[in-house]
Amino acid sequence: MTTLRQKCVFIETNVFDFFGHLRYEKDMKRLLFLTIGIFLIFTASAWADTPQLLISEVAWMGTDNDSGDEWIELINTSDEDLTINGWKLVWGDVEVLLRVQIPAQSYFMLERTDDDSLRGIPANQIYRGSLSNRGEAIHLYDAQGNLIDSANGDGGPWPAGNNRSKSTMQRHVTESPEQDLHWITAPATPGRENRGLDIQDTNAFSEIGDQNMLLLMLTMIVVAGLVFWWFNR
């Protein structure tokens, strides 16, 4: 026969087990939410650091026909159409206002002065203003004035391109912020994929820049710290 004392011990044990279980579940949930939260912050940052409209090729040297036949190629690396009304390409005292929609995974060709700068290739937009052979810092801004991308963004001589062979300056690394070593010299590819560039690489996550790698490491350290704290408290 169960005594009253045995009944009390039974209830006490089960109640404590119940609340202990609840507390364990709560901690697990907190840890899970924290991990998911940190992962989302990292994901958002990785996405934000990967521009979806890139300056992908710069023909600052012009073409075999005329050194003044300069052109610039942009690419929408995203899977959605981009409307870039009010966006600007800026270098020196030149400002090119963009008012277009660029279809997903498509190129956008800017030709200087007229459509003959790139013969046989229809220009998406004509602009005025020359690119110095000595180098320009080209910046792409959105309508709110946020810097989206650059080409030779730190100024100085062009990091790639050749005035004699008329090989162009082509982006082969799409990390942000852009650096000189992200460009190569190669035969022109107007409106086509650049040499050495896998277009898939321009999507978020496939290219983890230095900043994102640092953030990933910090995230892992924080998560490891939380797990360690939880097991040792």
| Binding stretches for Ca ion (CB under 5 A) | 57, 73, 115, 118, 121, 123, 189, 194
Least distance (Å) between residue 55 CB and Ca ion: 11
Burial class, 140, CB count within 10 angstroms (exposed 0-12 / middle 13-18 / buried 19+):
buried
Least distance (Å) between residue 223 CB and Ca ion: 40
Q: Which is nearer to Ca ion, 107 or 212 (CB)?
A: 107
Q: Which is nearer to Ca ion, 107 or 141 (CB)?
A: 107
Q: Which is nearer to Ca ion, 179 or 189 (CB)?
A: 189
Least distance (Å) between residue 105 CB and Ca ion: 13
Residue nearest Ca ion (C-beta atom): 189
Q: Which is nearer to Ca ion, 55 or 84 (CB)?
A: 55
Burial 105-127 (b: 16+ CB within 10 A, else e): bebbbbbbeeeebbeebebbbeb
Least distance (Å) between residue 207 CB and Ca ion: 18
Least distance (Å) between residue 140 CB and Ca ion: 16
Q: Which is nearer to Ca ion, 57 or 178 (CB)?
A: 57
